[in-house]
Amino acid sequence: MPHPTRFAQRRQNLLAQLKGQPYEALLISNETNVSYLTGFTGDSSYLLLAPKICTIISDGRYTTQLSQECPDLDVCIRPQTDTIIVAASKVVKQAKISKLGIEADHLTVVNYEKLRTSVATLELCPTSGAVESLRQVKDASEIAEIRKAVYQAEKGFAVLRAQLQPEMTELEAAHTVEQAMRKFGATVAAFPPIIAVGERAALPHARPTNGRINEADFVLVDWGATAASGYKSDLTRLIVTGKISPKLEKVYGVVLKAQRAAIRSIRAGARCRDVDAVARRVIEAAGFGKQFSHGLGHGIGLNVHESPRFSAASDAELQPGMIVTVEPGIYLEGWGGVRIEDDCLVTRDGCEVLTSVPKELDQILVN
């Protein structure tokens, strides 16, 4: 059972952050944000939050579930004749709210207009990132859940390595790692696993195909687990199934050097753009700057991709309790790509690498 006090504290933290804003209440429409603030694991629900209002708006499918997961919340179960935005409008009107904050990143234009016209006297105030900014820093329970997701992912990868066969297809490998993660407690994969053999590894987000493992000397595996709580992990490793060519040895060595340098630079107070630059300088110095085509990494939690972001455009500062991926890569069209990714917990004086899958070149060989 969820612990109500934990979620109540999160709501209080949000309300404290919203003091001084020009609106009286905030309508949270993003399902992940609703879950983070309430512990509710269902979908299709909104949360109306103010100093003296805490109402979750849902439907009849979740009546019992809400009583179990959110016993401390007021609940509005909408009739089947009302859409969720109509039900939310009624709750807002009944609460006599005149200025309402909305999640501009998530509420659709259609629902924005319906809300605006349903309550004639209502002024809507767009907001951005209010809940997401809180979600960046994980508490002890969240860190523990992400550790579980890392464990499940690592166990799944160990099974894949043990069962990998030359005739196995990328799709079969993806199914193998996902099924294995579930056997170790994951509910689902954190995202569809990326299994890319040889030159297809040059596609950072390649989709598995019927191409076979033995069609090249290496395969890139990008995978992660979703723990029962909803928290996720995200890892990437290369598996060498054939010979280590001089080119692979060089490219892999550069990526590993860049990742380690970036990890060493992570600490509370470090700017995301500076950490990104550390890895980028290593790759640029080796002559592969144009082949590192994405940011260095991102936050991870209830979503695979969360704030903060490691990129040249990010001025955000790292804080203790943030969990971020570090995943430099080099992608060479017609040859393949190398990416190495670990999940790291930011601490006051550095970081803790949560993942432990071997990544030395001689450790990624599969005979």
What are the DSSP calls for 67-135, one per residue?
A: HHH-TTSEEEEE-TTS-HHHHHHHHHHHTT-SEEEEETTTS-HHHHHHHHHHSTT-EEEEE-SHHHHHH
Question: Residue 120: pLDDT above 90?
Answer: no
pTM of the model: 0.94
Say what the pLDDT of residue 4 is. 61
Question: Residue 26: pLDDT above 90?
Answer: yes
Task: State how far the Cα of 175 lies from the Cα of 158, in Å rounded to an integer.
Answer: 14
Question: Residue 1: pLDDT above 60?
Answer: no
Query: Cβ contacts of residue 148 below 8 Å, gap of 6+?
Result: 185, 227, 229, 231
| CB neighbourhood size of 200 (10 A) | 21
Q: Give me the domains of the chain, ranges plus CATH numbers.
A: 4-135 (3.40.350.10), 140-363 (3.90.230.10)
Query: Cβ contacts of residue 24 below 8 Å, gap of 6+?
Result: 50, 97, 98, 99, 100
Burial (CB count within 10 angstroms: exposed 0-12, middle 13-18, buried 19+), residue 114: middle
Question: Residue 2: pLDDT above 60?
Answer: no
What letter represents residue 232's amino acid? K
Q: Tell me what percent of the residues of the chain surpass a pLDDT of 90.
A: 97
Question: Residue 114: pLDDT above 70?
Answer: yes
Choose among 180, 181, 221, 228: nearest CA to 197: 221
Give 256-311 pLDDT, tens digit per residue: 999 999 999 999 999 999 999 999 999 999 999 999 999 999 999 999 999 999 99
Question: Residue 35: pLDDT above 80?
Answer: yes
